[in-house]
Structures are given as C-alpha cells and as structure tokens.
Amino acid sequence: MAGPGDEMTAAEGRGRGEFRASHADREQVIGTLKAAFVQGMLSKDEFDQRVAQAFGSRTYAELAPITADLHVEPVAARSSELVGPQGEAPALRPGQALAAVTAVYASIWAFAVFPPWPVDSEGDPPRAIIILVFVTTVIYLLVSAITVGNMLADRIQKRSGGRPAPGGNGQ
C-alpha cells in the first residue's frame, strides 16, 4: 500500500518536483513521520531532524526524500485500532452529560415544589424536602462547573491541534 511519501515521489517523477509545496503537503509528510516514529522506525533525534527538514522544505523535490525510505501504514487505515478496546462503553460527551444532569435536577425541583406537602404551623415544607433541594442544587452546580470546564478544555485542545500551549513544560 502506498503511503504519503510514495505520493511525493510519484509527484516528483511527473515533473512536479520543482513546484512549491503547501503547508498541507508539509503536514502530510510530518504525519507520515509521526506514524513512523510511533511504529519505531525512527529515533527521536532522527524524527526531530526530519520534521525540521519538512518545515524547511519549499518544493516537492525537497519533501520527497524525507519519507522516501519509510513505508508506513496510512493513519486512516488504522483508525479502527485507535477507537479503543472492544467492549468498552463509549464515553458520554459533556453536552449530553449536562443535559442529563439538568433533566434530573429539574425533575427533583418539580417533585419538591408541585405536590402539596404537609406544612408545619409556619407554612414551611418538611425539612427533608428543603435538604433535598439544597443538596441537589449544590451537586448540580458542581457537576455543571466540571462539565463546562471539560467542554472548554476540549475546545481549546481541538483549536490547538492537540499541541501544548506556548510556554508550557518549562519553556
């Protein structure tokens, strides 16, 4: 099966070697290098060196030799392996979790407010109902804050492409 590096070699053979490579072309080569590194075909130093070469390449002719000796399986063909172990339940998405918690919270409020509960001499509902509403409110606010925090963290990670923020890790 041909990999991204083979496409670059084929493009060079058709006379495209002197055409300028796009950012997407460089990212494709870097994706191939990442796959080769993960599969143990490249050492960390060699990976770093080739990534630097890819970023510095301006034409297809400069990109082609970077992955010419690597024959890795394309990431799309391995995507089923990356999904997760078989039999594992899919994770609940934050939006779905927030909707479920809100539905439970609204149900508890409806249970506490609408039925005609016996009241004491001052017209207050039973102490257990007040405690139920108070505890569920605290839990709801806590779960909501955690869920919204997870949603924001996921959004930031997607926007950064999974890369750490600049200045992180002691830089």
Cα–Cα distance, 154 to 64 (Å, whole number): 35
Q: How many CB atoms lie within 10 A of CB 123?
A: 6
Q: Of 47-51, 87-91, 102-106, 140-144, which gets the smallest average pLDDT?
A: 87-91
Token code pair at residue 112: 């506490």
Residue 133 is classified by DSSP as H
CB 54 within 8 A of CB 26: yes
Per residue in 14-59, pLDDT tens? 456 688 888 888 988 888 889 888 888 889 999 899 999 999 999 9
pLDDT given at position 45: 92
pTM comes to 0.40
Q: Which residues pair with 59 in a beta bridge?
A: 20
Answer yes or no: is pLDDT of 171 > 60. no
CB 31 within 8 A of CB 39: no
Per residue in 101-112, pLDDT tens? 889 999 988 888
Q: Is the dihedral of CA 109, 113, 117, 119 positive or negative?
A: positive
Long-range Cβ contacts of 47-54 (<8 Å, 24+ apart): 54/26, 54/29, 54/30
